Amino acid sequence: MAVSSMQAMNVIGLMDHIDEVITVLGESGVFHPDEVSDFYRNTRDFTHLQTKNIYAEPLTNLKASLNQTKRSFEPADTSEYNPSFEELEENARKISSEVDSYTDSIAQLNDKLAQAKRELETAGHFKGLGVEVEKVLKMRFIEARFGRLPKDSVQKLEAYKDDDFVDFAVCTEDRSHCWGVYFAPKGRSEQIDRIFEGLYFEPADITCDGETPNEKIEKYNKLIPELEKDVRDKKRELEDYLGANRYHITLCLSKLEELYLYAGIRSKALQYNNSFIIVGWVPTENVKALRHRLKRIDSVELDFSDAREEMEKSPPVKLKNCFLAKPFEFFTEMYGVPRYNEIDPTLFVAITYIIIFGIMFADLGQGLCLSVVGLLMWKLKKLKIGKILFPCGLSSAVMGTVLGSVFGFEELLNPMYKAMGFHEKPFEVMGNINTIILAAIGIGVGLLLTAMLLNIYSSIRQHNIGRALFSQSGLAGFIFYGALIFGLAGQLMFGIKVLTLPYIIGFIVLPFLLIFFDEPLSGLINREEQWQPESWGGYIVEKLFESIEVLLSYVTNTMSFLRVGAFVLVHAGMMLVVFVLARTVGGVGYWVVVVIGNGLVMALEALLVAIQVLRLEYYEMFSRFYSGEGRAYEPVKLMTD
C-alpha cells in the first residue's frame, strides 16, 4: 500500500533553449507540469509564454477529417521531421481538404442512394397504377391524396359507407398498413381530410415527374445499381489515396499530436527577462535519466527536492502496487487517488474484495466460469474489470469447494470429502443459517477494526496526531467499538460477565468522551492556536446530536456486513429453485433448465455481488480511513497504443 516517490523539479534556462528543454521533457514521458505560481510566491514580473495552444485547431480539424474515413493511423517516428508551424498547418489543411473531398462525395452519393431506395419503396406500394400521378394531382374539381392507412382504420371506414366520397382505394398492403389513394371534391376536401386525419392517414410523396409508378420503379431499378457502383468507386479512390499517402498522413498527425502535448508544458512556463522557468514533478526513479539529458543543454539549471518537503504544493500521486493489487487501482481511482502522504488502499481493497466476493459467490463451477469470462474480457476487449473478475472467480471456486457447491450440486464433492477423512460435507449452508449470519457480522467487525487501525497509521503519517487518537475511527473509536463488541459477545454468546462497571467506565465511557471532545483535544495536541470552540455550550449541544450519528454509524456499518451472509443463503436458495424447476420438467428438459438456470444465476448474482462488495469497500471501510482527495500523476506523454 504505497505510492511512488516523487521529486519536485525546477528548470531554469535561457529563452533560446526552451524548445529543446520542452522536447526533452515531453519525450521523457514522465514529467508532470505544474503552475509556476504554486512554487514561487512573487511572480508579478513573470509573463506567460503562450496562453493558447496553436496546434489545437489544425489537430482537431485533421482528426475530424480522418475520423470520417473510419481508419486507424499508427503513430510514426517524427524525430527527423521538424517543419515550421506554418508548414505543418498547411500540410494538415491540405490533407483535411483532400480527405473531406472524398468523404463528402461519398456522403452525397449515399444520400442519393438512400433517397432513390425510399422513392422505389414508395412507388412500389402503388404498383399497377397505369396513370401519370401528376395529371391526377392536377385535376380541376377533384383532389387526390396518396398515402397509407393502418389496417384497423380501413375497417373503420365502414362507419362512413353512406358518404360516397369517404372511401379509400387500396393498391397494396404490408404487415400493418394499406397503401392507396382517396379522392375529395374541392369543396369538401378540408372536411374529408379531417376525417382521414382522425383515422391516422399518412400522406406519401408520390410525385413521379410525368411517369406512372411502374415507369418510376423501372427507372430506380436501373439507377440504384449505378449509384451503388459510384459509391464503391469513390470509396476505392479514397482507399487508394490513403494507401499512397499513409506515411505522410501519419507523420503529420503524429507531429501535431506531439507538439500539441508539448505545448501543454509551454503554456505553464513563465518568462522572466531573457530566462524561462518550468516546474513540475518527476518520479524519483526517473530523475537520474532526465537530469542527464537536460544537463546536455546549455544554460539549463536544475533543482530537485523531495515531495515530502513540498506537501503544501500537493504533489501528484502515482500508484505503485504488486501484480495482485494492480487491477484494483481501477476501484481506487474511481473513488479518488490518495494524498501523497496518505496510505494507498489498493492492496487492502484487492485482498478484502477478492475474499468477500468469494464468500458471497461461493460455487466451484460458476467461479471457474467467471474466471474464464474475466480472462476473455481482458484478453479480447482489454476491459479493466476482466482482470478483477479473474481472481474473484478463483476465490469463488475456492469457497465453493469449502461449502461443497458445484453449479448448485451440493453432493458432487462428497467423495473428495470422504477421501479427506470427513463422513459428509463439513458445512451445510441451509442448515447453519445462524452460524453464517454471525460469521458475516464477525467479518464486518474485523474489517471495521482493521480500517480504524489503518486510519490511525495514516493519521500518524500525515502528522495529525489528534485524529489518530481522538476521532471516531482513531484509537478512542477503536477501543470504544472493540470493547463494546467484545463485551456484548462475551455476555450474550458465551455467558461471560464482561460488562462490569470498571470495564464500562474504562473501555466504553472514557473513549466515548474522548470522541465527544475530539475537536478541542485534537486542536490542543496538534498545537493549533484556535483549539477551543467559540462557545462550549453550543459545541456540547451540537456534539450531542452528532454523537447519535456516530453511534448509529457503528451499528449500520456493522449490520451492512449481514449482506455477506445473506448472499451465501441467496445463492443456495436460487440454485434450489433451479433444481426444483428442473425436476418438475424432467427428461432432457432437466439439463436444459439446469444449464439455463446456472447461466442466469451466475450473470445476475455476479453483477449484484460485485456491486455490493464495492459498496462495502466504499461506504463501510473507506469512510473510516481514506479521503481520496489527492491529485493524480498525469505526465505529458504521447500515447503510442
pLDDT score at 190: 86
Radius of gyration of the chain (CA): 37
Of 70, 567, 480, 628, nearest in space to 469 by CA: 480
Same domain flag for 109 and 166 = no
> Quick one: CA torsion of 508, 511, 517, 519, rounded to 10 degrees?
-140
| Residue 123 belongs to a domain | no
What is the average per-residue pLDDT within 80-99?
90
Q: Do 376 and 245 belong together in one domain?
A: no
- Asked whether residue 326 is assigned to any structural domain, the reply reads no
Looking at the fold, whether 273 and 366 belong to one and the same domain comes out as no
Instruction: Based on the fold, state whether residues 26 and 85 are members of the same structural domain.
Output: no
pLDDT of residue 445: 95
- Domain range for 307 is 1-49+269-319+633-641
Which of the four pLDDT bands, split at 50, 70 and 90, describes residue 632? very high
DSSP category for residue 180? E
Grouping H, G, I as helix, E, B as strand and the rest as coil, residue 173 is strand
Mean pLDDT of all residues belonging to the chain? 88
The angle at the Cα of 468, spanning 463 to 474, to the nearest 5 degrees, equals 160
Mean pLDDT of 577-592: 90
Same domain for 430 and 569, yes or no, is: yes
Name the more confident of 151 and 50: 151
219 belongs to a structural domain: no
Cβ neighbors of 156 (< 8 A, separation 6 or more) are: 199
**Do 390 and 302 fall within a single domain?**
no
The length of the chain in residues reads: 641
The DSSP bridge pattern shows strands 2-3 and 32-34 to be unpaired
> Tell me: the pLDDT tens digits for 402-427?
888 899 888 888 888 888 877 777 77
State the angle between helix axes of 85-124 and 246-268 in degrees (0 to 180), rounded to the nearest 10.
120
Q: Indicate whether 339 pLDDT > 60.
A: yes
Would you state the cell numbers that stand for residue 189, as one nine-digit string? 376536401
Supply angle C-alpha 69, 75, 80, rounded to 5.
125
Average pLDDT over residues 341-364: 93
Is the same domain home to 440 and 519? yes
pLDDT-based confidence at residue 210 (cuts at 50, 70, 90): low
- CA 575 from chain centre, in angstroms, equals 31
Together in a domain, 143 and 156:
yes
What pLDDT, on the 0 to 100 scale, is given for residue 81? 85
pLDDT by residue (tens digit) across 491-522? 888 778 888 899 899 999 999 999 999 888 88
Residues 617 and 637 in one domain: no
pLDDT category at 602 given cuts 50, 70, 90 is very high
**Total Cβ atoms within 10 A of residue 375:** 15
Q: Give the tens place of pLDDT for each residue, 451-495.
A: 999 999 999 988 899 999 999 999 999 999 999 999 988 888 877
Does any domain span residue 257?
yes
Provide the 8-state DSSP code for 406.
B
In a domain, 504, yes or no: yes
Residue 510 located in a structural domain: yes
Using pLDDT thresholds of 50, 70 and 90, give the confidence band for residue 128: low
How much is the pLDDT for 175? 85
Considering the domain architecture, whether residues 477 and 604 belong to the same structural domain is answered as yes
CA nearest 615: which of 394, 400, 444?
444
Could you read off the pLDDT of 213-250 as tens digits, one per residue? 777 788 888 989 999 999 999 999 999 999 999 999 99
Quickly state the pLDDT bin for 265 (edges 50, 70, 90): confident
Beta pairing partners, 34: 279
Give the SS3 label for residue 303: strand
**Same domain membership, residue 23 and residue 170:** no
pLDDT in tens, 2-15: 789 999 999 999 98
Q: Count CB atoms within 10 A of the CB of residue 628.
A: 16
CATH of the domain at 296: 3.30.70.120
Q: CA-CA distances (angstroms) from residue 213 to 123, 134, 339, 552?
A: 5, 11, 74, 78
pLDDT beyond 80 at 625: yes
The pLDDT score that the predictor gives to residue 1 is 53
pLDDT at 527: 80
Looking at the structure of the chain, the number of domains it has is: 4
Residue located via cell numbers 473507506: 622
Residue 473 and residue 456 share a domain: yes
Helix (H, G, I), strand (E, B) or coil at 9: strand
8-state DSSP, 187: T
Residue 203 located in a structural domain: yes
525-546 residue pLDDT tens? 888 877 888 788 888 888 898 8
CA distance 293 to 21: 9
pLDDT of 641 strictly over 50: no
Q: What is the structure's pLDDT at 282?
A: 95
Flag whether 121 is in a domain. no
Contact 514, 476 (CB under 8 A): yes
The strands making up 177-185's β-sheet, listed across from edge to edge, are 169-173, 177-185, 142-150, 202-203
pLDDT value at residue 130: 62
Mean pLDDT of the region 274-292: 93
Pairing of strands 275-283, 301-306: unpaired
